[in-house]
Structure 1
Amino acid sequence: MSDEAAGLLDRLGLTEYEATALRELLTLGRTTAPNLAEATGIPKARIYGVLDALSDRGFIKTIPGRPKEYQPKPPDEILDRARENRRQEFEQFAQEIEDLRESFLAEFGPRFERASEDITPTEELFHVVDVGQPSERETRQLYGDAAERISVITKSFEYFGSVRPAFEDAIDRGIDVDALFLHPDLLEPENRPIQSEMVERMRESYPAVDLRFSEEPLPWRGTVADPSMDYETGRAIILVEEKEVPLHMRQAAITDNGSFVAGLSRYFELVWEHESVPPTDL
């Protein structure tokens, strides 16, 4: 199996034997368990359990007979069933959490309160998460919670695909979105095509989003939502520029401190008004 094919099957949450059996069934079509075991090298003592697991997930069907035969579902049905399986698993987990809530709070609530009695309340300025899936998850949450305005500072918005549904939902809710890109002349050559494609996509698909390009280097990148000059509201996630640190080793800072968010917003506005140009000037 090619690395690409193996990677696709891994995304379905299959074991190694299950992925091997499903790949071979999709290649051979209808066959028996002994034939499949011989073709894949899966031990005969394990092959029936593997096939039963694939059948239980709805990825293959069993044809009665002597001997029984097994046939894969069409690839599009396999993907639809994988999605439905995951949805049902999540709903079951969510229900288990709700069933646990009362006893969990009764057990651990008093402990937490006793442990917190002697701690002087303080407001943390920010907390950090790793860059990648954790920071993208926080960014999606920020889009989802926004009520009025979102400001984005980015080099080329290369992570857009991971936040697109939340971004589009914010647009549909009437949230004002401004995106400040780094000027192409300040980008590394390999990033320029990525930015160009993204800007074109923004202009075609999201005309309500205002775009500009910073003519000076940007010390940080991130997203600011709902800032206010009375320092009462707002939330932001930022990543400072650290060229010497690999991206996978960086962390992003998250804050809902109203004063800090207002300062970030003021920085955005100053760059937007005095140190940036619109796409038409590129």
Structure 2
Amino acid sequence: MDSAELRTALRNAGLSQYQAEAYVALLQLGAASATELADACAVPTARIYDVLRDLEANGYIETYEQDSLHARACNPESVMEDLKARATQLDEAASEIETRWQQPSVDRHMLSIVKRFETVFNRAEELIRNATSEVQVSVTSEQFESLRPALTQAFDNGALVKVSLHPERGGQLEELSEKTYEGVATEVRHRTLPTPFVALVDRTGACFAPHAHSVNQYGVLVDDYTMTYVFHWYFQTALWEVWDVVYSTQTDEPPIVYSDIRNFVQDAKPLLGNGNRIVTNIIGYETESREPIEFTGEVTDLHYTAISEPEGSLSFSKLAGQVCITVETDDGTYSVGGWGAVLEDVEANRITIEVIS
């Protein structure tokens, strides 16, 4: 490092231009009078005395009288410690800037756009661990393994965990044994095409990121009931409904648990059509007061709007309009809707068939 670079470094460390000029010159001279020092550097003679007093106050030099004011550089140990401390602080600041750029903190905005997939993944993991109602994820096998502890926690919390597995681009989806999913997922389906990363949690949290080979790399974090519903429809129609089931804890015998009223209606319609009696337990919220509610009663009617009367089984897309059920209890009759219910008495978060007779 030459003298000019040293002066620049000292200015970056907080010295003024004149202070840096005087200090570097004094290091070379060892000791000098004020006028000699002014002649040896670019500091005007009229300013040299103020510059020397400031340098002495900062511990860089010491002055003494010898016919006239003289100065010499102090032991540089304290100066070196100060510069090293500044360097460490700047290095830490650089690392912190990089960290904050890569992984910005997630605030409580309804919608956040982030740059890094890691931010999306970490947020999804956090939400999943605290899930109590339902988790829907679209992941690769590797991502599934990374999320396994969080998914296990959600499963233990009582949440219904739905996993849509897809391969990496150009890869094949690995066939895993059923034991892989035990205690982790309620149902698993295989999709054969690469798919964005999606995680939907308890109807209010959504995390989305394009697949790794997408042209644009970004992430979307949602903390909003209505916007998450849009991602729910994407998950159900594109990532779930049409793909093969490879694992399920669900059986044909009660109790049979549903988190979506449309899936319940798909199964209940043929049962009722064959003259069966269905008793269900409903857990949800009163649509007007948003107060929690739970009751058990007999399903007496199914209602759904469709463009035409479906033939055969009901697909999820055929149930895109209003869907509700009527449940008769000892305390009265309730109309029950699903996610986003407005016209019904109750929005159901969970419907459990307890009796089929």
More strand, by proportion:
2
Q: Based on CA coordinates, which of the two structures has the bigger radius of gyration?
A: 2
TM-score when normalising by structure 1:
0.42
Greater relative CO, 1 or 2 (CA 8 Å, sep 6+): 1
More helix, by proportion:
1
